[in-house]
């Protein structure tokens, strides 16, 4: 349980992501209504919810890609809606995002994809940038020759690893993952989980992970946020297991939930 005890015993650190009173509407339909969320530094938070409960929308709003109807979102202590372009870019350089299908720039090689944020946001000499890219490629477990390949030449699992390497290019504080194990076979998914866990520990990352993979939730997440009733309930797995809410109960006590818990025990 990843340093959670020590975090709780010391003075409460200010949350790296702080959402207050978030309201999201699409036309007449309200997706989030008064949603509050704190993500603590150094934790792995898994976000789950039925389809249409606004998991991806929440992610986009925290990333500043979408503007909520109401509410305040603070990322690393800054209100992202009211930042100058420059300050906002600065906050964004401290976050890394792995999109569901990698979202690698298809016209560039993997190495160029990883080097792009470094080229744009730093004044490092080209040789050092290439070196950093090589390190990141190795860190995510890609073979050295993957750097010269284009995304179309990679398998699904390798694209995700390359996307992860790009997300880590600027050594962010917060890593956002959108369904990181979706579309991977069980072995690849388990390997990806352990990769995320080891990177999280070695780099001291805070991880915000939207996922449906119950194995990921039970093995690597410190806390789980469940989107229900237009708001969110954050708790540890043990607490969710005794939650009487019907959706939460069905989610964690369904056949898949039970199997995942057995496997992790």
Q: Which residues bind another protein (CB under 8 A)?
A: 60, 63-65, 85, 88-93, 95, 97, 99-101, 103-106, 116-117, 120-121, 176
- For another protein, the closer of residues 7 and 83 by Cβ is 83
Cβ of residue 120: shortest distance to another protein, in angstroms?
Answer: 6
Distance CA 19, CA 37 (A): 5
- For another protein, the closer of residues 19 and 174 by Cβ is 174
DSSP, residue by residue, 173-225: SEEEEESTTTTS-HHHHHHHHHHHHHHHHHHT-EEEEE---HHHHHHH-SEEE
- For another protein, the closer of residues 82 and 85 by Cβ is 85
- For another protein, the closer of residues 99 and 252 by Cβ is 99
Cβ of residue 91: shortest distance to another protein, in angstroms?
Answer: 8
Cβ of residue 102: shortest distance to another protein, in angstroms?
Answer: 8
Distance CA 212, CA 50 (A): 9
Q: Side by side, which strands form the sheet with 29-39?
A: 29-39, 17-26, 70-75, 78-79
| Alpha helices per DSSP H over 1-155 | 4-9, 55-63, 85-93, 110-121, 126-139
| Strand 17-26 with 174-178, pairing | unpaired
Cβ of residue 49: shortest distance to another protein, in angstroms?
Answer: 19
Q: SS3 helix, strand, coil % of the chain, rounded to 5?
A: 45, 25, 30
- For another protein, the closer of residues 116 and 237 by Cβ is 116
Q: With CA atoms as reference, report the closest residue to 162 among 89, 112, 199.
A: 112
Distance CA 45, CA 4 (A): 12
3-class DSSP state of 14: coil
- For another protein, the closer of residues 100 and 219 by Cβ is 100
- For another protein, the closer of residues 85 and 262 by Cβ is 85
Distance CA 222, CA 218 (A): 9
Cβ of residue 184: shortest distance to another protein, in angstroms?
Answer: 17
Cβ of residue 203: shortest distance to another protein, in angstroms?
Answer: 18
Distance CA 111, CA 130 (A): 8
Are 167 and 175 contacting, i.e. CB atoms less than 8 angstroms apart?
Answer: yes
Cβ of residue 26: shortest distance to another protein, in angstroms?
Answer: 13
């Amino acid at each position: 349980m990843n340093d959670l005890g020590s975090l709780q015993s010391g003075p409460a650190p200010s949350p790296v992501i702080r959402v207050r009173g978030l309201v999201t509407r699409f036309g007449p339909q309200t997706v989030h209504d008064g949603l509050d969320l704190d993500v603590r530094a150094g934790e792995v938070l898994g976000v789950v919810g039925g389809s249409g409960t606004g998991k991806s929308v929440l992610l986009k709003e925290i990333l500043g890609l979408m503007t909520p109807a109401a509410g305040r979102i603070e990322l690393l202590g800054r209100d992202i809606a009211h930042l100058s372009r420059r300050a906002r870019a600065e906050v964004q350089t401290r976050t890394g995002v792995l999109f569901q299908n990698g979202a690698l720039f298809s016209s560039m090689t993997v190495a160029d994809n990883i080097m792009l944020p470094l080229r744009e946001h730093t004044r490092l000499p080209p040789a050092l940038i290439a070196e950093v890219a090589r390190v990141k490629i190795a860190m995510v477990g890609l073979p050295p020759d993957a750097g010269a390949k284009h995304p179309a030449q990679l398998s699904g699992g390798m694209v995700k690893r390359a996307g992860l390497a790009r997300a880590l290019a600027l050594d962010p504080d917060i890593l956002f993952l959108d369904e990181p194990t979706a579309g991977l076979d069980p072995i690849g998914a388990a390997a990806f989980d352990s990769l995320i866990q080891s990177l999280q520990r070695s780099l001291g990352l805070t991880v915000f992970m939207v996922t449906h993979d119950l194995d990921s939730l039970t093995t690597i997440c410190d806390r789980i946020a469940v989107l229900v009733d237009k708001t969110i309930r954050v708790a540890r797995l043990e607490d969710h297991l005794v939650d009487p809410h019907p959706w939460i109960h069905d989610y964690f006590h369904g056949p898949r939930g039970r199997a995942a818990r057995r496997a992790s025990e």
